[in-house]
Chains A and B, each alone.
Chain A
């Protein structure tokens, strides 16, 4: 059974700094991996989707990488802003399975 872990559970960073969020998964036979953000009282918003054949995806200040062999993904946020404060979740799509397995998220606070 796939297990997805995100450490740390919470992170505070001064505005303007670059930061990295981590995601690890136990079964490397994945179809894809998605990163989401969740604002308080809201649903999840998809940020980036990486196919299993890809190494990374970029969108603006966000860059997500995928290393299937080690069971890891990172989300890099450049020049952080207060508006980046949210909970970030990663989710793994398992091969042969049509479901996403979600991590428990990292709650990010950007300090002005």
Chain B
């Protein structure tokens, strides 16, 4: 299995631009998570999907952030408009089961820089 695949690996954009991050979970996994990692705040859960349905989006910072999972093999996280404080590493992770009762598999992340 190729693992969780994220693209792009790096994204540099100017403030105000739209940014779309992509994720392909491990085949057969039915839970998908988007995390953000910064030095100041560590790992923060943004949103969690189960069977393609958003279950908990309480971690999404504000309306500028949105996430979709149109099918079991693809998810996107969109920031519009982007701001410098959105600069961070964004991780996608997947697992089997509704509860986090199995090991969580992370992608290699997208490093976002907003200037």
Interface residues of B, count at CB 8 A = 22
Q: With both chains docked as a complex, state the minimum distance between the C-beta of B45 and any C-beta of chain A, in angstroms.
A: 5
Q: Say which residue of B93, B99, B107 sits within 8 Å of A98 (CB atoms).
A: B99
Q: Tell whether, in the assembled complex, residue B106 and residue A99 are in contact, meaning their CB atoms are under 8 Å apart.
A: no
What is the interface of chain B, defined by CB distance below 8 A to chain A?
4, 42-43, 45, 48, 50, 55-56, 91, 93, 98-109
Stretch in A16-24, A39-47, A62-70 touching the partner: A39-47
Question: Which B residue's beta carbon lies closest to that of A48?
Answer: B103
Are A31 and B104 CB-contacts (below 8 A) given A99-B56, A100-B45? no
Beta-carbon contact of B100 and A46 below 8 Å = no
Q: Number of A interface residues at 8 Å Cβ cutoff, please give it.
A: 22
Given the known inter-chain contacts A31-B99, A98-B99, please indicate yes or no for A46 contacting B105, CB distance below 8 A: yes
Question: Which A-B residue pairs are the 7 nearest by beta carbons?
Answer: A43-B106, A46-B103, A102-B43, A44-B106, A104-B42, A93-B100, A43-B108
Instruction: Please tell me which one of the listed residues A32, A93, A99, A104 contacts residue B48 in the complex, with CB atoms under 8 A apart.
Output: A99
A49 within 8 A of partner (CB): yes
Query: Measured between alpha carbons, how far is A98 from B4 in the docked complex, in Å?
Result: 20
Alpha-carbon separation in the docked complex, A98 to B102 (Å): 12
- Check if B101 sits within 8 Å of A34, measured CB to CB: no
Instruction: Report B-chain residues with C-beta under 8 Å of the C-beta of A100.
Output: 45, 100, 104
In the complex the two chains form, what is the Cα distance from A43 to B55 in whole Å? 23
Residue with the greatest number of chain A CB neighbours at <10 A, chosen from B42, B93, B98, B107? B42
